[in-house]
Amino acid sequence: MKRALTLLLLTAVLAACGAATPLPPTAAPTAEPSTATPTATPAPAAKAGPWWRDTVFYEVFVRSFYDSDDDGVGDLPGLLEKLDYLNDGDPAGGPDLGVTGLWLMPVLTSPSYHGYDVVDYYTVNPDYGTNDDFRQFMDAAHARGMYIIIDLVLNHTSTEHPWFVDSASGPDSERRDWYIWSDEDPGYLGPWGQEVWHPRNGAYYYGLFWSGMPDLNLENPLVTAELEDVARFWLEEMDVDGFRLDAARHYVEDGKIQEHTEATHQWLRDFCTFCQEVEPEMLAVAEVWDTSYAVAQYTTEDVNLAFEFSLAGSILSAVNNGRAGPLASTMREVMRLYPAGEYATFLTNHDQNRVMNQLNRDEDKARLAATLLLTLPGVPFLYYGEEIGMVGAKPDELIRKPMQWTDGPQGGFTEGIPWQPLDRGFEERSVAIQSADAGSLLNHYRALIGLRNAYPALRGLSLTPVESPHQGVYAFLRGGQILVVINLEGQAAADYALQWTDEALASGNYQATSLLAPAEVAPLTVGPGGVVEGYQPLPELPARSALVLALAPAGE
């Protein structure tokens, strides 16, 4: 990878800065606004394993991020122009968000606005620019020490793809077996009751998602070889760091069984093995929208990471209903199923109503959700605009609207007519306004990402559950160094005495330092065997508030 020297230099600078030192407060974790000034968010100072475990990802829909040529459509030069907002490459200071990885939603040539129906796997969508524009963007991102993965859609193509045009031309076509055909309508439906067999030229082809997206026949070795060439091209020629694999549970069907087949697992294993032979440090993260148990089956051997949908739902539910028990139960199950932390965490993505809509546009709840996302184990992914509280509910176009940069015309996204209109009230939720407000949601995200980047314990695999008699208090210990205490309820919690056992903490007295906002917190006493009983860092936890505390032996 071409950024090795850059990363070594960044690591050296960070080591000199002492990344384990508590950061100055940068945003309030409670409903009370903070007057603290945001600080820089350094790149990771210490490695906890594969690079992605030290990475905070940001999901970008290029069409909606920033329009550089005022045609109303976001593009790669626009993304490059706004790269400093995401990561300015300076670990010593700056107002950047601090994310260290990007997931780009489809950037390949496609006839649709969303890009999930590809017509050319080797060419950047002309709406977004050229292959050279992509390479220029990659060089700039890598120079900042960032990692970039792209959406790679392998399950299906567009009906306009030349492969399908040839395949549909007749039974004797060269690529007939590149897709799945039947002379008669098999008659069965898809996993959610949808039509999956579509008529064309006297036969029927299989398309799981809709008639415009015919499924590739991944059991055909010629198709697999072509897709391996596609992967090689993006890893070698375009220098990407990995792939988000769309619809991974549906790759290979077994008759009416259209998800989670053993052939799907085997194909994924073989494909990822090939990719890692091309680039040993590449990341494969799978979209498997299902229960934690089903998702975990893909991380044993198939891919590096898979998105944890159950945990995402539990975080939002806990924040909404103020109850810690169900979230704690989900987290225990996740930790049991993924012993190596091979899962990606998130709140919502491009297929779901936005966080603010699911939280009834309550910013205090959004702060808590962000705090949970960025202090729990797993590799976190943020959806663009989440950090400023963008709103949006389905249909899909309305949850993928343009980014809100300023309170000016078109939100600073374009000087033309945007491909989708911005939401009413965008002026109150722009990057410019929130950057100037130290207590804003944006600065809360900046502070949390800064803490995760600075403290290896927050990026590690361990989590010690902390018990409390209060049903609204959720707490946990990370790496024996960071204690997170969250009051999910809409009222203060006075009786929440914490208790836990963690042998990583030797018996003795510890000072606790609040990392998110100024607070005088009580020292901690650890008994023999790492036992803690009845600890309350504050006499009372404010409503919907969070404490992130660094623990250090007293006197150090």
Reply yes or no on whether the pLDDT at 34 is more than 50: no
pLDDT in tens, 42-55: 333 444 579 999 99
- Token pair, residue 273, equals 């093995």
What pLDDT, on a 0 to 100 scale, did the predictor assign at position 48? 52
**Could you count the other beta carbons within 10 Å of the beta carbon of residue 525?**
15
Q: Where are the beta strands (DSSP E) in 302-443?
A: 305-306, 344-345, 379-383
pLDDT-above-70 percentage for the chain: 91
**In the predicted model, what is the mean pLDDT of residues 208-220?**
98
**In the predicted model, what is the mean pLDDT of residues 226-234?**
98
Burial of 22 from C-beta contacts in 10 A (0-12 / 13-18 / 19+): middle
Phi-psi region of 8 (alpha: psi -120 to 50; beta: other; left: phi over 0): alpha
Catalytic residue among 59, 117, 151, 287: 287
What pLDDT, on a 0 to 100 scale, did the predictor assign at position 204? 98
What pLDDT, on a 0 to 100 scale, did the predictor assign at position 121? 98
pLDDT in tens, 88-130: 998 766 789 999 999 999 999 999 999 999 999 999 999 999 9
Quickly tell me which residue has 């509910």 as its tokens: 393
Angle formed by the axes of helices 441-454 and 363-375, nearest 10°: 10
What pLDDT, on a 0 to 100 scale, did the predictor assign at position 483? 97
What is the spatial distance between Cα 166 and Cα 147, in angstroms, rounded to a whole number? Answer: 37
What is the spatial distance between Cα 224 and Cα 302, in angstroms, rounded to a whole number? Answer: 16
**Residues in CB range of 53: below 8 A, 6 or more apart:** 47, 341, 379, 459, 460, 461
**In the predicted model, what is the mean pLDDT of residues 363-369?**
98
What pLDDT, on a 0 to 100 scale, did the predictor assign at position 24? 30
pLDDT in tens, 122-178: 999 999 999 999 999 999 999 999 999 999 999 999 999 999 999 999 999 999 999
Q: What does R_g of the chain's alpha carbons equal in angstroms? A: 24
pLDDT in tens, 455-500: 999 999 999 999 999 999 999 999 999 999 999 999 999 999 999 9
pLDDT in tens, 61-85: 999 999 999 999 999 999 999 999 9
Distance of CA 504 to the CA centre of its chain: 30
Closest alpha carbon to 153 in 102, 99, 215: 215
Burial of 507 from C-beta contacts in 10 A (0-12 / 13-18 / 19+): exposed
Alpha helices (H) in 338-480, listed in sequence order: 355-358, 363-375, 431-435, 441-454, 456-459
What pLDDT, on a 0 to 100 scale, did the predictor assign at position 62? 98
Residue 228 is among the residues annotated as catalytic for this protein = no
pLDDT in tens, 342-360: 999 999 999 999 999 999 9
Reply yes or no on whether the pLDDT at 232 is more than 50: yes
Quickly tell me which residue has 């109503």 as its tokens: 353
**Could you count the other beta carbons within 10 Å of the beta carbon of residue 469?**
11
What pLDDT, on a 0 to 100 scale, did the predictor assign at position 479? 93
End-to-end CA distance of the chain: 40
Residue 246 is among the residues annotated as catalytic for this protein = yes
Q: Is the peptide bond before 395 cis (omega within 30 degrees of 0)?
A: yes
State the pairing for strand pair 344-345/379-383: parallel
What pLDDT, on a 0 to 100 scale, did the predictor assign at position 389? 97
**In the predicted model, what is the mean pLDDT of residues 441-463?**
95
pLDDT in tens, 281-303: 999 999 999 999 999 999 989 99
Task: Give the torsion sign (CA, 47, 49, 50, 52).
Answer: negative
CB-based contact 391:354 (threshold 8 Å): yes
CB-based contact 478:503 (threshold 8 Å): no
Catalytic residue among 71, 246, 333, 362: 246
- Token pair, residue 110, equals 């496609």
Task: Give the torsion sign (CA, 74, 77, 82, 87).
Answer: positive
Reply yes or no on whether the pLDDT at 192 is more than 70: yes
**Could you count the other beta carbons within 10 Å of the beta carbon of residue 147?**
25
